[in-house]
């Protein structure tokens, strides 16, 4: 059982820096739901461990020994079913419950962390899914890794679960309309025995392939930058991401979609990396991907960035604020290549847990929105320009 030893307060948030695990609360009195998240850090996993973690996440999606997903689905107090996602250096598990149901949510989450269903059948199903690789150009673009052998077995999956699902790797967070310390107490009461550490074993290597082609006729080129860690820099990067490619009145829409080459999908996003949030940009289209053409597109994008005005910034600020729980359905933050952060309490709990896990600092979406008001046009131009000029280019032609 986890033991709490230290409580730290920060604005409307309460951080409980545990002796064993970390816990934060984000109080949102007006919210109608409670979001509960656990981030499990998986620092520097071996390649086979990455594969095994993805299989483990697949197993966890079927539920725990106490609550199968099927049983959870029938509970009226559940707002959204548990999600299990593997990111760069972490596994994230979250769910949402109705107001007043934090204890129930904490119990379900705790059971998932400490009693997941890991048996031959669920492992086999999850392995089959991983061997299929990314099924759409979006997933392939942001994580073009496909595991090509099936030696991820029950023993390996159980090993990584025991190795990483330790209290010292665990960052819990709750967001919603509950009383201060209520969620913390709920988790303290709900957390079961953590798994025993695994005995040291040597496993054979797993193989993976970096895809050289998109799984469909739609190819893509992407750019990725180094992560931003400081809260103000994360806010600036979020605004730059919006000005570049979220919505229609954006640089990518003007240059790529309305430009000379037809493309339906152009996007930008921020994804958690080992030390912060990394900016990404992607352009998807059929047909050949010629490096010279991409270079020209990058020049056109840079030229458009140079035309940004205070109105560009104002639009980005409005979209960011509303995208985090208002009138706009998107925001730039993603958990991994396939799952957006979303909005509301589920997003807030995931965001705060991720920030504490990856950069060791508390940053809530509310704080981020406030910080975004201090951003200048030059700040976002600088970040966007850096991504387009210096970002790492990945090319994944359609097949």
Partner 1 sequence: MILGCLVALFGFSSIAVADSTRLREVLPTGATVFAESLPGTKLVSLQIIGSARGAQDTKATHGYRHLLEHLMARGFKEDSDKKLEVEGLYLRATTFRDTMQFRVDCYPSQAPIVIAVFQDMLAGLRATPERILKESQIIREEIALISESRKQNREVWTQAYGDARLDPLGDPDLIATATPKSLADLQRTHFCGANLVVTVTGNVKVDEGILLAKRIAASAPTYPAAELNWMEFSTPKAARVSSGEMTTIGIPVGGFQEPKTVARAAAAFALAGLAQGNVSFMPTLKHGLVSVTMLQNEQTRAAFSNSPAAALEVGRLQLRRWMQKQISEPGRDGALRGSLLSFAPFYRPEGFLDGVQELKLAQFTEAWEEFRKLWAN
Residues that bind partner 1 (CB under 8 A): 32, 69-70, 73-74, 121, 125, 128, 132, 135-137, 216-218, 247-249, 257-258, 262-265, 284-286, 311, 314-315, 318-319, 321-323, 326-330, 398
Rg (CA), the chain: 21
Nearer to partner 1, 11 or 326 (CB): 326
Q: Which of 136, 3, 154, 96 has its CA nearest to residue 347?
A: 96
Nearer to partner 1, 298 or 315 (CB): 315
Nearer to partner 1, 329 or 360 (CB): 329
Separation CA 31–CA 322 (nearest Å): 15
How near is the Cβ of 282 to partner 1 at its closest, in Å?
Answer: 12
Nearer to partner 1, 100 or 326 (CB): 326
- β-pairing, 33-41 with 90-98? antiparallel
Nearer to partner 1, 197 or 248 (CB): 248
How near is the Cβ of 329 to partner 1 at its closest, in Å?
Answer: 6
How near is the Cβ of 20 to partner 1 at its closest, in Å?
Answer: 34
Nearer to partner 1, 48 or 284 (CB): 284
Nearer to partner 1, 70 or 207 (CB): 70
| 3 state SS of 204 | coil
Asked if residues 72 and 65 have their Cβ atoms less than 8 Å apart, the reply is no
How near is the Cβ of 23 to partner 1 at its closest, in Å?
Answer: 29
How near is the Cβ of 249 to partner 1 at its closest, in Å?
Answer: 5
How near is the Cβ of 103 to partner 1 at its closest, in Å?
Answer: 22
Asked if residues 152 and 206 have their Cβ atoms less than 8 Å apart, the reply is yes
Q: Cβ-count burial of 385 within 10 angstroms (0-12 exposed, 13-18 middle, 19+ buried)?
A: middle
How near is the Cβ of 18 to partner 1 at its closest, in Å?
Answer: 34
How near is the Cβ of 220 to partner 1 at its closest, in Å?
Answer: 10
Nearer to partner 1, 128 or 205 (CB): 128
Q: Which of 365, 170, 398, 392 has its CA nearest to residue 298?
A: 392
Contacts of 303 (CB under 8 A, 6+ apart): none
**Angle at CA 170, nearest 5°, toward 164 and 174?**
145
Separation CA 380–CA 105 (nearest Å): 39
Chain length of the chain? 399
* DSSP assignments along 119-172, one per residue: -HHHHHHHHHHHHH---SHHHHHH--EEE------HHHHHHHHHHH--GGGEEE
């Amino acid at each position: 059982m986890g033991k709490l030893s230290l409580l730290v307060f920060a604005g409307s948030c309460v951080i409980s820096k545990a002796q064993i695990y970390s816990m934060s609360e984000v109080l949102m009195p007006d919210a109608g739901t409670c979001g509960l998240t656990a981030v499990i850090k998986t620092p520097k996993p071996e390649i086979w461990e990455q594969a095994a973690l993805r299989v483990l996440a697949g197993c966890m999606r079927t539920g725990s020994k106490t609550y199968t997903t099927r049983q959870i689905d029938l509970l009226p107090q559940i707002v959204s079913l548990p999600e299990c996602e593997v990111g760069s250096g972490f596994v994230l598990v979250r769910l949402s419950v109705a107001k007043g149901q934090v204890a129930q949510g904490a119990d379900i989450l705790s059971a998932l962390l400490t009693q997941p269903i890991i048996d031959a059948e669920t492992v086999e199903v999850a392995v089959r899914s991983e061997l299929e690789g990314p099924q759409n150009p979006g997933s392939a673009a942001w994580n073009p890794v496909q595991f090509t052998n099936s030696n991820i077995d029950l023993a390996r999956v159980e090993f990584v679960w025991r190795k990483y699902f330790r209290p010292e790797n665990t960052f819990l967070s709750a967001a919603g309309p509950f009383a201060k310390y209520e969620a913390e107490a709920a988790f303290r009461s709900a957390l079961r025995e953590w798994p025993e550490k695994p005995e040291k074993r040597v496993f054979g290597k797993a193989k993976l392939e970096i895809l050289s082609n998109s799984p469909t006729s739609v190819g893509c080129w992407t750019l990725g930058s180094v992560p931003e860690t400081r809260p103000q820099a994360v806010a600036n990067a979020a605004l730059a991401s919006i000005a570049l490619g979220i919505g229609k009145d954006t640089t990518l829409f003007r240059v790529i979609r309305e430009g000379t080459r037809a493309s339906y999908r152009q996007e930008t996003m921020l994804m958690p990396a080992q030390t912060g949030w990394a900016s990404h940009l992607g352009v998807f289209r059929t047909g050949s991907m010629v490096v010279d053409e991409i270079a020209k597109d990058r020049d056109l994008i840079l030229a458009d960035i140079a035309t940004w005005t205070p109105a560009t910034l104002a639009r980005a600020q409005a979209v960011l604020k509303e995208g985090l729980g208002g009138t706009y359905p998107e925001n730039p933050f993603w958990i991994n290549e396939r799952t957006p952060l979303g909005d509301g309490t589920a997003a807030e709990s995931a965001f705060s847990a991720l920030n504490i896990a990856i950069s060791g600092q508390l940053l809530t979406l509310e704080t981020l929105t406030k910080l975004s008001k201090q951003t200048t046009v030059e700040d976002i131009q600088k970040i966007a320009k850096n991504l387009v000029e210096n970002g790492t280019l990945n090319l994944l032609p359609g097949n």
